[in-house]
Structure 1
Amino acid sequence: MSVLTQIKSFIVPCVQAIAAIINAEVTVVDRDLKRIYGSGIYSTVDKLVQDADRHDSFFGGILQTGEPGMVTDVHRDVNCQNCKLREICTTKAVIGYPIRYRERTLGVIGISAFTDAQYSYVIENYRQLMEFVKYISLLIESQLQNIEYMDQLKLQMSDMNRERARADLIGSSPKMAELFSLADRVAKSDSTILITGENGSGKGEMAKYIHAQSNRSGGPLVSINCGAIPEHLVESELFGYEGGAFTGAKKNGSVGKFELANKGTIFLDEIGELPLSMQVKLLHVLQERTIERIGGKKPIPIDIRVIAATNQDLKRMVAEHTFRQDLYYRLNVIPMEMPPLRERGGDIVMLARHFLDLYNQKLHKNLRGFTRPAEDILRTYPWPGNVRELRNIIEYLVNISDAVMIDVQDLPPHLTQGDGPLAKPGLTLNEMVKNYEKSILEARLKDISGREERLQAARELGISQATLYRKMAEYQL
């Protein structure tokens, strides 16, 4: 498809506007001399005459030189001497003007006279007509530029969406690296994905990341929490309804989430909460790729990718007959498990710094970071609420802190007293210090195995490599 064919919807009204105010016919051809659109005889003639009036030789010369021109006698003019259809051409005169963009000639605008009256008009008004088509050519050039800018903007927005989705999943731990690798591999397909993991571990963010990386990123991402909808409303929320389908229904009906997600991705969060009656309907949708509105009489085809997520053990639910086995297998085509934050080692501090920057901007604060003891506590805390809990705590700290750096005393008490290494009663100071030291080393060494990585960890801890190995032996790490 030529560039001009892509903007035919813009060219057509331009040609119609010219033809409406001049006494001549107008045609636009692309670089391959294929007609995009024409007025009058150009839009009604049969193929033989149309080819005869295409002026391949004359327009071809304009495409080569990029210069406008005029022919007043097609049977004698040198510009038409190589035309195969010269002898049967019905045109009395023709003006040609190049359509240029980015130093390339993409096509030609032609103004043609077929009658004596049109011939006189074109000859007498040659200069004005040439200025007129020059203006139209500039309009087409401007439209091409707008489209290019819009394409660039869409690409930038797509890149921004990818970066934003990736930012919410910051992490370089082995488990996250493996997960990102899998996500990147499967993003381009349309296969159904089932994301499992604890609450707050980032299942929704991973769904956004996959959508942003996919070929559907230009389409919608529609999210729905299956556990947050009253059971009697689930079907209408998912599949919509026709007008008058039930008491209280809108007159014109309502579009469901699956239709809204057409050409994009639907994210079914907390899929384990879906009632058994709806599981049957969802299975049918996944198999047939059609939906039926409540009260509807015909299936509606949909083009979507399905990503589901749950914090429940669906295998156990299948065994207990609270989740359909056939639906489980249909959903679990590509399984992905989000690791809990406590298993992500150095990602904890990385995420904490990311959220600190985020809330610094939102709350107009300028906290520069965390002290080393504060970071150590963040690493050793078990984070039962996962990334969501960490984010909330950082937002709290940015709100209440007036210091330059966040220190241990700024942290919420449950981080330092509740479940941490200092919480066990009856310990001596020396025992508490050793427990604390052990927990710090465990956090630092959790995802480290190589000699170079351990040497780097020792440098960060401010101890020698020999001291690190001695303490590892002491604490049996």
Structure 2
Amino acid sequence: MENILINLRKDIQKFAETISQIIQMDVEIMDKNFIRVGGTGRLKNKVGQSMTEESHIYKKVLETGKEYVILNPKEDIHCSRCPSIQNCKEKLEVSTPIFFNNEVAGVIGLICFNNQQKLNFIDKQEKYLNFLKQISGFISSQAYLFLENSYAESKKEFLKVILNKIEEGILIYDNNHLLTHMNEVSIKLFNTKILQENLFIQPLNDNFLGKNAYSIIYNDKKLDVFGEIFTFSPFEKVLIFKEKKAIHNSILHVTNSTTGTLVKDFIFYSDSMKKLFERINKISKNPSTVLITGESGTGKEIIARTIHMNSNRVNQPFIAINCGAIPEALLESEFFGYVKGSFTGADPRGKIGKFELANGGTLFLDEIGDMPLYMQIKLLRVLQERKIIRIGSNQLIDVDVRIIAATNQNLEHLVEMGEFRKDLYYRLNVVPIEVPPLRKRTGDIFIFAEHFAEKYATLFKKNFANISSEVLSIFEKYNWPGNVRELENTIEYMINLMGDNGILSYNHLPQKLLTTNSAKIPQERTLKSMEIEMISNLLIKYGDSTESKKQIAKILGIGIATLYRKIEQYNLKH
């Protein structure tokens, strides 16, 4: 049992003084560890001291739980073994137990040092003893109250620890909407630790993942959140919430990368791609809609990501959606999302659509030519009004999204056939960008091949040295109907077969490239001559400094060590 009386010293001293004033005797109160926790008169200066050597009767009270009244201390049988019996000056002694949790927690002692006090007590003995029992009960009640408060405080502190480990915001408020507690997440969001201020919670007509939408105002700061309100006690409620923006960001982290990881694959050497890149730089900063056309595998999404990464929206989401890969029945929910209970088979928690996820950033609509007509109408309305409505809701949601669309189809022909809306075509075709096929930019084949070779050699933990001139000649002659994607797949296949010498040779080519009529090997141009021409021209253009070489290596899509090796090999030092 906890030694609780020591924690009630101030209250116990008040009880001791009250007893002394009423009974007109000196009072001392001892806890179960023989520490005097209260005292009056000549005993007051001994509070806090040990009573081990002077508590003969008190020991019996602790052992038996009985009350003792010693009318003649030197003659009473209970005092016969007291070590202080010869020097005892007491005329009367009363010892009353204090109970806590059915155990003796301490003793109230009344001590009389003169006969007048003794006679006064004996005259009112029954009344005074009942009074002592009442005071003993009061002290027990205080002990219980203290323990309850201690437990409540411990629970409160433990609750704080738990709440501060939760990643969601937590606000506890009373029936008057005064804030009584906020966890660390909420403290950061509202930038304050101040409590007992008015908390304003406005329900919104929206929900997501089973959570209702609220607008919260506290400390002059407004947050839009999704959360739930629970009854915490008869006097308090708790709101557990997550900021809308944080939910969107967490979904983005799972579903899409907003970084420029793919942009590093935008490499080129040909004049046609140089002109394309210059055009991208000019149009990236503006919010105009872009339509990218080109054959499958030419890198239209990489172009779109490059535009995004060079735009003012670079720190906002880049969301890609393939219009041809989503079942027609699910297209609308993918674009605009839905609230819970919207239709059979829907996620009961609701869903955020791609337009909301891309809010503030870029939405890339790949294979736009495959979008059904009914969705074209809805997309056109969103592009015109910049607002969406989730399925099952009637609330308009503002969206600020830059649209980049892409297709490998001839949209003008689809318009003539009645398969694509003319008004949507003109809305999308504000800034047209056509990506040339790989066969029309053969100058890029070598740097792509080197780039992919180093990429997959690193992935497969192999050492890549170079590509034979025989293979490169076949690459240049081949038509590449699958464009850059086909070239990458070809290199990956060849790296799998590459030997320890690190050279991609004729024997590693896939059968398709060996059997095609376009794979006749021209002998007039060698790998060495092409490499020398390419690297030499870049050194002349950018210079011979370390930074220039890093830039050249990046343009060629090869490592800086590989570039140094080739400069040394071909004696291209300036």
TM-score interval, smaller chain: 0.5 to 0.7
Q: Who is 1:419 aligned against?
A: 517
Is the contact between residue 293 and residue 434 of structure 2 (CA under 8 Å) also seen in structure 1? yes
Percent identity over paired residues: 46
How much has 1:363 moved relative to structure 2?
0.7
Deviations 1:82-138 (A, max 9, x none): xxxxxxxxxxxxxxxxxxxxxxxxxxxxxxxxxxxxxxxxxxxxxxxxxxxxxxxxx
Change (3 A) 1:232 1:357: same
Match of 1:342 among 412, 432, 439: 439
Flag as ranges the 4+ runs of structure 1 deviating above 3 A: 8-14
**Separation in structure 2 between the aligned mates of residue 337 and residue 319 of structure 1, nearest angstrom:** 20
* Structure with larger Rg: 2
How much has 1:9 moved relative to structure 2?
5.7
Amino acid at match of 1:248: G
**Separation in structure 2 between the aligned mates of residue 180 and residue 300 of structure 1, nearest angstrom:** 35
The structure showing larger relative contact order (alpha-carbon pairs under 8 Å, at least 6 residues apart) is: 1
Matched ranges for 1:10-25 at <5 A? 13=192
Q: What TM-score do the two structures reach when normalised by structure 2?
A: 0.47
SS of residue paired to 2:405: strand
Change (3 A) 1:166 1:235: closer
Deviations 1:120-160 (A, max 9, x none): xxxxxxxxxxxxxxxxxxxxxxxxxxxxxxxxxxxxxx9x9
Higher strand proportion: 2
1:404 aligns with 2:502: yes
How much has 1:380 moved relative to structure 2?
1.3
How much has 1:409 moved relative to structure 2?
2.1
Match of 1:207 among 304, 308, 319: 304
Is the contact between residue 262 and residue 302 of structure 2 (CA under 8 Å) also seen in structure 1? yes
**Separation in structure 1 between the aligned mates of residue 191 and residue 415 of structure 2, nearest angstrom:** 60
**Separation in structure 2 between the aligned mates of residue 404 and residue 278 of structure 1, nearest angstrom:** 51
**Separation in structure 2 between the aligned mates of residue 332 and residue 10 of structure 1, nearest angstrom:** 42
Deviations 1:162-211 (A, max 9, x none): 5x444212102111001111111111111110000000000011111111
Change (3 A) 1:397 1:255: same
Deviations 1:200-249 (A, max 9, x none): 00001111111111111111111110001111111111111122121222
Q: Who is 2:281 aligned against?
A: 184
Amino acid at match of 1:218: N
**Separation in structure 2 between the aligned mates of residue 372 and residue 273 of structure 1, nearest angstrom:** 41
1:367 aligns with 2:456: no
Change (3 A) 1:396 1:235: same
Is the contact between residue 196 and residue 336 of structure 1 (CA under 8 Å) also seen in structure 2? yes
Is the contact between residue 356 and residue 399 of structure 2 (CA under 8 Å) also seen in structure 1? yes
SS of residue paired to 2:486: helix
**Separation in structure 2 between the aligned mates of residue 252 and residue 265 of structure 1, nearest angstrom:** 26
Match of 2:408 among 311, 314, 325: 311
Amino acid at match of 1:188: K
Match of 1:393 among 472, 490, 495: 490
Higher helix proportion: 1
Q: Who is 1:459 aligned against?
A: none
The unaligned stretches of length 5 or more in structure 2 are 1-186, 196-218, 220-256, 539-574
How much has 1:13 moved relative to structure 2?
4.8
Q: Who is 1:196 aligned against?
A: 293
Deviations 1:228-281 (A, max 9, x none): 111111111111112212122233321111111111111100000000000000
**Separation in structure 2 between the aligned mates of residue 199 and residue 216 of structure 1, nearest angstrom:** 27
Q: Which moved more, 1:327-336 or 1:373-382?
A: 373-382
Match of 2:394 among 254, 273, 297: 297
Change (3 A) 1:381 1:12: closer
How much has 1:327 moved relative to structure 2?
0.2
Aligned-CA RMSD value: 3.4
Is the contact between residue 513 and residue 519 of structure 2 (CA under 8 Å) also seen in structure 1? no
**Separation in structure 2 between the aligned mates of residue 316 and residue 166 of structure 1, nearest angstrom:** 31
Matched ranges for 1:157-176 at <5 A? 161-162=259-260, 164-176=261-273
SS of residue paired to 1:420: helix
1:357 aligns with 2:460: no
